[in-house]
Structure 1
Amino acid sequence: MTRDLRIARGWSQGRLSDQTNTRYGTALTREYVSRWERGVVSPGACYLRCLSVVLDVPLAVLEGQVDRREFLTDAAGAA
């Protein structure tokens, strides 16, 4: 879910967790981000809202209502 969006920003898993923790005071770890990206666990609603802001993507993309690859393609075309 977050991997493509994170990579599109050029961020590591550690940077994503650091940015989220800095902005929201959470205790997100790189390891937990890795578990999300491998499909071992799914982020809860609170983390989805945080990730939406930190990654600067609509919440609907993270919730699967909008195809993230299509979103990335459209965003790259607009840049």
Structure 2
Amino acid sequence: MKYKVIVKKQRRDTYLAVCPVIGNAQAYGISADAALAKLQEHMFCYLHDAEAELEIVMAGEGDALSQLMSRDLPGEAEP
């Protein structure tokens, strides 16, 4: 199965990777790759499916996806 993952730059040195269909699973990292690696590890442990695929979407500042993420993740807490 393919899971959509959204990556958004939070602050200068912080990225957030979110998979909304898995209980809003999320992970932070100092780069997009680091956040994705952490999220992938969490997701595969949760799913127990080594064949799961991630569809990565980058959310740009000010775009509709970024605004939606801000509403879905109240406060966007620090990692």
Q: TM-score range by the shorter chain?
A: 0.3 to 0.5
Q: TM-score, normalised by structure 2?
A: 0.37
Higher helix share: 1
TM-score (normalised: structure 1): 0.37
